[in-house]
Amino acid sequence: DTGMNVDAVLGGRLQPVGNTLHAALTMLCVILAAHLVHFVASAFHALSWRPWLTCNVGLFLVLAIIGLLPCATFHPESRFSLLRTLFESVVAPCAPVNFWHVIVADYLTSLAKAFADLQMSTCIAYAISNEPSGPTYVATSTLWERHYLECADTYANALMLALPFWWRLMQCLKVYSITKEPKNLWNALKYSTAFPLVAAGYMRRHRPSLRHDRIFVACAIVQSSYCYFWDVQMDWGLLTADRRAPLGYRMREPLLVTRKKGVYLALCVFNFCLRFVWALSIFGGVAGRGGGMFFFEAVEILRRTVWAIFRIEWEVVVKVHRASYASLPLNTPNSTASDTDDARSTDEMLPIKELDD
């Protein structure tokens, strides 16, 4: 028992693990079914339809239908909570912001490349569907290569890559408008560092030069370093000032996920490496097809999940272990409370009072 009162800080009842596994397996089966249809159909020649295009468009539609089902089926409580949170994150700062919004919106920043790929895939699918019919069948992969550059290297693709960071930036400004605490502006600045990186990556692809390479690397170093410091000190609260410590800082107490400090040190190294690798690969223009890009995106989701676990741990420490939780407002995903994500100092996070929008 780690003493992790997760329900309290997330502001709602957690779903059983079995529900999560059931939902994940269902989604996996849908994806595998689409790939199976594509694989089988591709074995036949002289097709009058395009398996790749049809299966991918069909897959998107099925996933959208499952997610947007208005009826009380397929874990409606979790689906509706997620959909509501996604909508409120997109319309920030015109919506309330609480800890659950922060977790979801930060996951969206890790899916930035997926947003860019969605724009690119939609563009390519539209271009392929408008291809004139010829006397011979042209493979979809050939048409993909034909339209890839014109769809990938566009302002729309760069904007989609930056969009999740804009949403998170708006959340930070929403919190600042309520709390007037400068640290929320520093947090907003952290997400703003993604925009020069997106622009530098775009210029690097369109006008390759040593100067643009250097600008891109400099932007990647600034963005990754800023985010890494914020992860360790603000999101996880791992360091506490202590004059008796050799370097003036010691690891905070309590440690709830595990009592082994080596795990936290390994976590910092893990996060440091993946922060820089992700920035260089996602914003640097690694090829969008094949297993390479999928590997980087999967590793980033793993890093974000690990980040979320220890982010929730820090929230438990400051909300439950360092305060009388009975006196704190319970910010649920349905409430109109302000964001509790950044309402803290280095040593202690203070609760933000509930406000009506």
Chain segment 32-65, per-residue pLDDT in tens: 998 898 888 877 766 667 787 788 888 889 989 9
Q: Are 238 and 229 in contact (CB under 8 A)?
A: no
pLDDT score for 335: 40
Whole-angstrom distance, CA of residue 28 vs CA of residue 18? 15
Q: Give Cβ neighbours of residue 140 (< 8 Å, ≥ 6 apart).
A: 50, 51, 52, 53, 128
pLDDT band at 156 (very low <50, low <70, confident <90, very high): very high
Indicate whether 122 pLDDT > 60: yes
User: What is residue 3's predicted lDDT score, i.e. its pLDDT?
Assistant: 55
pLDDT at residue number 197? 93
pLDDT at site 153 = 82
Tell me the three state secondary structure of residue 126: helix
Position 210 scores a pLDDT of 92
pTM, two decimal places = 0.82
Hey, which residues does 320 pair with through a beta bridge?
A: none
Least confident of 100-104, 109-113, 129-133, 231-235: 129-133
Q: What is the mean pLDDT of residues 211-234?
A: 93
At residue 248, the pLDDT reads: 83
Q: Does the structure show a pLDDT above 70 at 318?
A: yes
As a whole number, the mean pLDDT across the chain is 82
